[in-house]
């Protein structure tokens, strides 16, 4: 089975799709058999469409995103409005089936870590059952330190130590964005914390080559050996 990376976040709209798209593009460019899926979408399927394009449209939208709902709400509530039920076992089965088809599987969550996905599960539950490597995305802005620490505190200890944190630079850096990394390093190890510059999105995926520094950071995030150090 593939090494599974689960891309979650401190909130919705924090850059999970940007990071997942960059990861799948980079791994494909370096010869890794990688798949990227977003099991659940609410509001629209824009995120899943981006992941499909990052994989050169080789997979159908339904193959990447089998559960999608019209209302821009937490998936649990959006499903209830359509009188539908998302079952944990079915989501796990979908993810594991994809893990059998590749060396690295990227799973993008919906909303933040504890946003309810179904009646009895959220992203934290999926990460634990899949023994996935968590990647936590957070905008690099005022409040980021608190948000990152809260998400990591919500994990079981083993997964908190395994987690990688990605700060996504905003378009308007300020004093907080210039000092968040230094402060977070008082609570995290250097290999846990990564910072990305502000990207012109989605133009970054259309570049023939990603910037060298970005590629090196992506390599550090997705250890292709599958080790769990």
Note whether 4 and 96 are within 8 A (CB). Answer: no
CA 59/CA 97 separation, integer angstroms? 14
Q: What distance in Å separates the CA atoms of residue 132 and residue 55, rounded to the nearest whole number?
A: 21
The three-state (H, E, C) secondary structure of 166-195, written as one string: EEEECCCCCHHHHHHHHHHCCCCCHHHEEE
Beta strands in the chain (DSSP E): 3-9, 34-37, 40-42, 67-69, 104-108, 133-140, 164-169, 193-196
Distance separating alpha carbons of residues 149 and 188, to the nearest angstrom: 9
Is residue 197 within 8 A of residue 5, CB to CB? The reply is no
Rounded CA-CA distance 25/40 in Å is 21
Catalytic annotation, residues = 38
Pairwise CA distance, residues 81 & 88, whole Å: 18
């Amino acid at each position: 089975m593939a090494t599974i990376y689960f891309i979650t976040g401190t909130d919705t709209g924090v850059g999970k799709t940007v990071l997942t798209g960059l990861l799948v593009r980079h791994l494909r460019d370096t010869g890794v058999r990688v798949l990227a899926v977003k099991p659940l979408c609410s509001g629209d399927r824009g995120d899943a469409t981006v992941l499909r394009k990052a994989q050169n449209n080789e997979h159908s939208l339904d193959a990447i995103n089998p559960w999608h709902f019209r209302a821009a709400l937490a998936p649990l509530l959006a499903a209830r409005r359509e009188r539908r039920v998302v079952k944990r076992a079915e989501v796990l089965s979908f993810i594991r089936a994809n893990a059998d088809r590749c060396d690295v599987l990227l799973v993008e969550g919906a909303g933040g870590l504890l946003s309810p996905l179904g009646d009895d599960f959220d992203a934290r539950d999926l990460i634990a059952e899949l023994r996935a490597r968590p990647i936590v995305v957070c905008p690099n802005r005022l409040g980021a330190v608190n948000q990152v620490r809260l998400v990591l505190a919500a994990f079981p200890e083993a997964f908190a130590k395994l987690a990688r944190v990605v700060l996504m630079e905003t378009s308007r850096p300020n004093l907080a964005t210039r000092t968040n990394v230094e402060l977070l390093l008082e609570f995290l190890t250097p290999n846990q914390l990564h910072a990305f510059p502000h990207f012109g999105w989605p133009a970054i995926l259309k570049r023939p080559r990603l910037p060298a520094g970005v590629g090196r950071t992506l390599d550090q995030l997705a250890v292709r050996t599958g080790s769990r150090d």
